Structure 1
């Protein structure tokens, strides 16, 4: 399957998952190749974000750190999704949360970029809440988790993103000078 066709199917799949319609999960390719395409989409969105933010005018070292810092959320959510399914379901279902989760992160980054351009930073918490809802829906439908476990999965992912963002900020920001 073409990566662009797979991206289109993932977008339709996410619309189906959000609306609670059946068949949304079947639109995702839950294989290693599907995971590679999801990560590739996320990397492309990060590169576009870097271009829009002027990050490509930075030095090569700064660009590498920007890219690694932006890939960390996808890695974190992918690992959480994979580990959740590995612990709760058979081994063949391990990618069933990782693939939709990384696509959700990429789609919400696109939404965040658009909203940041037009609405400013005031709506960023709403975007994080929307991502949490998407992760809940992924847990319910793609992971087959019950309501409580899907809610725990979504809250864990959102909290991990917030903590990781704060940690990365502390890592790259200068301390007090004095």
Structure 2
């Protein structure tokens, strides 16, 4: 039951962020245990996405499963690069957890919705990316306190990394090794 309470609070918190309402921080546990909860939920949903996808394409090998989970971890790296890159560009000391924890929950929503969309109507994924842009833009405005331009840059950087890193890695892995 606690899982459903956490998800309910996160949804309420994200609605508050999107509306620009005060008090959204109370809906997220912006502490180290809150970060651990967000990460645990991210990996649980990543695992479930792999299980769901394997119903269509077959069960991956252990190495394939580890590779998929590492690729899913790149999404977290992309979010961290977006946050720390923006903070570094601004020479800002904005706290990381109020941006990171809701950002991880946004990635969970993207993971769940993206998995469902890609199996049913894959051409709608770009619409999901636009939705993610809006979420990260609002997160930058509300949690980071950044201006319109900085929040837009943060959102674009993060989504480009989210989409680009796994695709680049897939291309590198799939490219044939030239004979010597």
Judge same fold: TM > 0.5, yes or no.
yes
SS in 2 for 1:5: helix
Stretch moving more, 109-118 or 129-138: 109-118
Q: Are the equivalent residues in 2 in contact too, given 1:38–1:103 (CA < 8 A)? A: yes
The counterpart of 2:64, out of the listed 62, 65, 68, is 62
Distance in 1, Cα, partners of 2:72 & 2:84: 19
Aligned to 1:136: 137
Cα displacement string for residues 36-67 of structure 1 (whole angstroms, at most 9, x for unaligned residues) = 11111111111111011117722111111111
Stretch moving more, 126-135 or 73-82: 73-82
Aligned to 1:168: 169
Distance in 1, Cα, partners of 2:24 & 2:153: 21
Structure 1 59/114 Cα, relative in aligned 2: closer, same or farther at 3 Å?
Answer: closer
Structure 1 41/102 Cα, relative in aligned 2: closer, same or farther at 3 Å?
Answer: same
Distance in 1, Cα, partners of 2:60 & 2:167: 22
> What is the count of residue pairs matched by the alignment?
174
Stretch moving more, 13-22 or 147-156: 13-22
Distance in 2, Cα, partners of 1:123 & 1:176: 33
Q: CA RMSD in A?
A: 2.4
Cα displacement string for residues 104-124 of structure 1 (whole angstroms, at most 9, x for unaligned residues) = 011121122232344x11100
Q: Which runs of 5+ in 1 are unaligned?
A: none
SS in 2 for 1:126: helix
Q: Which runs of 5+ in 2 are unaligned?
A: none
Aligned to 1:23: 23
Higher relative contact order (CA 8 A, sep 6+): 2
The counterpart of 1:95, out of the listed 97, 103, 125, is 97
Q: Which ranges of 4 or more aligned residues in structure 1 deviate by more than 3 Å? A: 19-22, 82-87
- Counterpart mapping for 1:68-147 below 5 A: 68-82=70-84, 84-85=86-87, 87-90=91-94, 93-118=95-120, 120-147=121-148
Q: Are the equivalent residues in 2 in contact too, given 1:10–1:103 (CA < 8 A)? A: yes
TM-score (norm 2): 0.84
Q: Does 1:46 align with 2:63?
A: no
